[in-house]
Chain A
């Protein structure tokens, strides 16, 4: 397997295989309503995955993404519960996310601290503050909030539409905007980028802010799917999206990867669980199988690298 898109092709093949198997042995997987619900429920993760992909390409990591997601959801929920219009709640979530991202970005870009330590610290801090503040309460949302006040089908359409639009915009920008080029350059060789007049600090900072803002949007897309705010909605999200990025071929040491691979990676990992249900296997297998997929991806990367070095 060589060539530029070998990873995307292998992941797509695995996903295709899974979908064909489901079509043959569990055709009710494709019933429209449940399929639509399952897809909608993955959209917040997709939006978060866009952010984490940019962060990883810049040769950074953000494991506080789940905590940002939870916090943004609570902020949006409080604003909505206070009777503010939907638009204000969305803005509040995005603003809160951008602020949290800026905090990470400041520490990583200007103080030069390792992002894994910074975001580990902020992850724990945000989560614990949230716990103290909300005491684990589930907050009820006003009626007009769920599905943006639309019918369920229309609401699902909007959620999927927003996520896909963001994906398209991000993929286009990474390829066609100078900013995208800067992200790749900074992730490959920050010093070379600096010598070429690119400011790696601003680039890194910007990516973290964007990550936060996307976490805010993701949190909103999650919020509209339920009548309640769960203060722990983002638990485990970081693992899910980092895994999707790694499976989708984003190099963990920066500079390489694209969003289409990440989309495929996310779809593959997300379909493990429904597939298990339809094949009537114990759901305990989900984590194990997801882990196996990630392991395979990492081993494939390792083998590719060893082959190149030889």
Chain B
């Protein structure tokens, strides 16, 4: 069969940085081709070459019948290439139908809009992908996965033959993932080629036909997924064996650090949470998106204060009404979205790390840059942050290293309780296992760790105990080493029939 897309020997440099050093890639009709690689391996650059955002320095692209040196975004669209990004790019104030209509049809400024036809078209497309959405809903009111479905509907409606999906499941619940997978399989059946990017290996095994691994801007091989196992795939990605994905638990849990009794927060949708976290223990927090896990963390960090119930830290009852108060009591929170709120990208690493400890590091007086730099250097060394120095801006680091900076900021406060929200989201496999090692090391040193994660293998592999949340409350606390089935069953609130 003639490939939908064939890239040969694509090279692209940005200044001195050679992002792509001769990558070849092809996509057959009716296949899901996974693109795998650590952050910085060149995946996003390659995607941008395919969507026309970047022109390659060398190499050729064959799209269908046409051979090209480079594409432009509009040319790519014309040739049937569509990309669904992690963060959907929709107009929040317009309805679903208006968004789809705008994307699919270029009209003159004074052409009359046929609202009925638009609505009908949207309805059909949504139905085709099995999305239970009203075409009249404002996009603002939709959840992230629902917005992704709208994006997919747009891609489908534009008659795309090549659909690129960039980490589409990053913020989806298990159930939504299954829905998405069904849509992808449908696309495949209808002859569309899907380029699928994800850090989650299990998704690639579940979905992809072939996988191309990128490393340092080069393709290190294209294989049939059936021919590889997890270890082989990781080895291809990192170029070395990742000895153990999850570091083993060590030591005994100590005294109760955090204890919650019937904690409620109506504004945050937290409804009567009972939970204990002990020193030296990692409590993994599983549940679907929307189960109230992040909301609970926000209550514990004083962002949305609790209405009723009890929070005790080391036995002492607390009221937490601002992050500053929480910090002063020894609570640290590494938020979910590090790119937005975890690390200030414009600021040097050193400034980022000392941000929450100004009063301690510089009591009452001016900043001492030497102390700041020393502290930053300590963390750069201890956590293995890859950066050219404490002055490097946060934005110059890869995702995994940004996350380490975010964690450093909170370790600098010498907390008693560390709350991590999706600590390895969007982080490549190598950095992920480093972060896991860091978390385990912290617990070993006596820190109480509460780790929220939607990455089920991570929860299972890392936790000493697993708390499962559903509908704003903790529905089950399971021992570490429980199997995925039990956890998912508790998260879904029934016998776990939906677990694939």
Which residues of A line the B interface, CB within 8 A?
175-178, 181, 184-185, 188-189, 191-199, 255-256
Lowest 4 CB-CB distances: which A-B pairs, in order?
A178-B358, A192-B341, A196-B355, A176-B366
Q: Indicate whether B307 reaches chain A with its CB closer than 8 angstroms.
A: no
Which residues of chain B (301-349) have a CB below 8 Å from chain A? 301, 303, 322-324, 327, 333, 335, 340-344, 346-347
Nearest residue (CB) in A for B14 is A310
Interface status of B367 (Cβ within 8 A of chain A):
yes
* B74 CB → nearest A CB, Å: 17
Residues of chain B with a CB closer than 8 A to A189's CB: 340-341, 344
B-chain residues with CB within 8 Å of residue A185 when the two chains form the complex: 344, 347, 351, 355
The verdict on B91 contacting chain A, using a C-beta distance below 8 Å, is: no
Let me know if B362 is at the binding interface, CB within 8 A. yes
Residues of chain A within 8 A (CB-CB) of B344 are 185, 188-189, 192-193
List B residues at the A interface (Cβ < 8 Å): 301, 303, 322-324, 327, 333, 335, 340-344, 346-347, 351, 355-356, 358-359, 362, 366-367, 409
Determine which of A177, A181, A197, A199 lies in contact with B351 in the assembled complex, contact meaning CB atoms within 8 Å. Answer: A181
Q: How far is the CB of B315 from chain A (nearest CB, A)?
A: 24
* 8 sampled A-B residue pairs with Cβ under 8 A: A181-B358, A188-B344, A194-B303, A196-B409, A197-B356, A198-B324, A199-B322, A256-B346
The answer to whether A255 touches B355 (Cβ under 8 A) is no
A-B contact count (CB 8 A): 57
Q: Return chain A residues, CB-CB under 8 Å to B346.
A: 188, 255-256
Q: Tell me if B356 and A184 are in contact (CB < 8 A).
A: no
Given contacts A177-B367, A185-B351, A192-B342, 15 further A-B pairs with CB under 8 A are: A175-B367, A181-B358, A181-B367, A185-B344, A188-B344, A188-B346, A191-B340, A193-B344, A193-B355, A195-B301, A195-B341, A197-B324, A197-B356, A199-B324, A255-B346
- Alpha-carbon separation in the docked complex, A197 to B354 (Å): 11
Chain A neighbourhood of B362, CB < 8 A: 178
Question: What B residues does A197 contact at CB under 8 A?
Answer: 323-324, 327, 355-356
Complex-state Cα separation, A159 to B188, whole angstroms = 76
Residues of A within 8 A of B351 (CB): 181, 185
Choose from A177, A181, A191, A256 the contact partner of B355 (Cβ within 8 Å): A181
Q: Is the CB of A196 within 8 A of B367?
A: no
A191 touches B341 (CB 8 A): yes
Task: Determine the chain A residues whose CB is within 8 A of the CB of B355 once the complex forms.
Answer: 181, 185, 193, 196-198
Contact of A188 among B303, B347, B356, B359 (CB under 8 A): B347
A201 to chain B, nearest CB (A): 10
Contact, CB under 8 Å: A184 / B324: no
Across the interface, name the chain A residue whose C-beta is closest to B341. Answer: A192
Question: What residues of chain B lie closer than 8 Å to A255, measured between beta carbons?
Answer: 346
The verdict on A178 contacting B323 (CB below 8 Å), with A188-B346, A189-B340, A255-B346 known, is no
Contact of A195 with B323 in the complex, beta carbons under 8 Å: yes
Chain B residue numbers with a CB within 8 Å of A199 are 322, 324
Q: How far is the CA of A255 from the CA of B367 in the complex (A)?
A: 19
Residues on A with C-beta less than 8 A from B341 are 189, 191-192, 195
**In chain B, what residue has the closest Cβ to A192?**
B341
Bound: A255/B351 CA distance, A: 13
Flag if B367 contacts A195 (CB, 8 Å).
no
A70 to B342, CA, bound (A): 43
Whether B358 pairs with A195 at a CB distance below 8 angstroms is no
The answer, among A176, A188, A192, for a CB contact under 8 Å with B367, is: A176
By beta carbon, the residue of chain B nearest A190 is B341
Q: Which of B342, B355, B367, B409 has the most CB of A within 10 A?
A: B355
Residues of B contacting A192 in the complex (Cβ-Cβ under 8 angstroms): 340-344
**A297 → chain B, closest Cβ, in Å?**
19
Determine the chain A residues whose CB is within 8 A of the CB of B342 once the complex forms: 192, 195
Nearest opposing residue in chain A for B362, CB measure: A178
Are the CB atoms of B366 and A195 closer together than 8 Å?
Answer: no
- How distant is the Cα of A94 from the Cα of B346 in the complex, in angstroms? 34
Q: How far is the CA of A25 from the CA of B438 in the complex (A)?
A: 67
What residue in chain B is nearest A198 (Cβ atoms)?
B355
Q: Is the CB of A178 within 8 A of B322?
A: no
Bound-complex Cα distance A251 to B356 (A): 25
Q: Which residues from chain B contact A256 at a C-beta distance below 8 Å?
A: 346
Residue of B nearest to A254 (CB): B346
Question: Cβ of A176: which chain B residues have Cβ within 8 Å of it?
Answer: 366-367
Bound Cα distance from A175 to B356, whole angstroms: 17
Min C-beta distance of A114 to chain B, whole Å: 18
User: Which residues of the partner chain B approach A177 to less than 8 Å between Cβ atoms?
Assistant: 366-367
Report Cα–Cα, A177/B358, bound state, in Å. Answer: 9
Residues of A within 8 A of B367 (CB): 175-178, 181
Distance between Cα atoms of A26 and B362 in the complex (Å): 52
A194 and B347 alpha carbons, distance in the complex (Å): 15
CB neighbours (8 Å) of B323 from chain A are 194-197
Q: Which residue of B lies closest to A255 (CB)?
A: B346
A195 touches B303 (CB 8 A): yes
Closest B residue by C-beta to A172? B366
**Chain A's nearest CB lies how many Å from the CB of B337?**
9
Residues of chain A within 8 A of B324, CB atoms compared: 197-199
Shortest Cβ distance from B364 into chain A, in angstroms?
10
Give Cα A197 to B344, complex, Å: 14
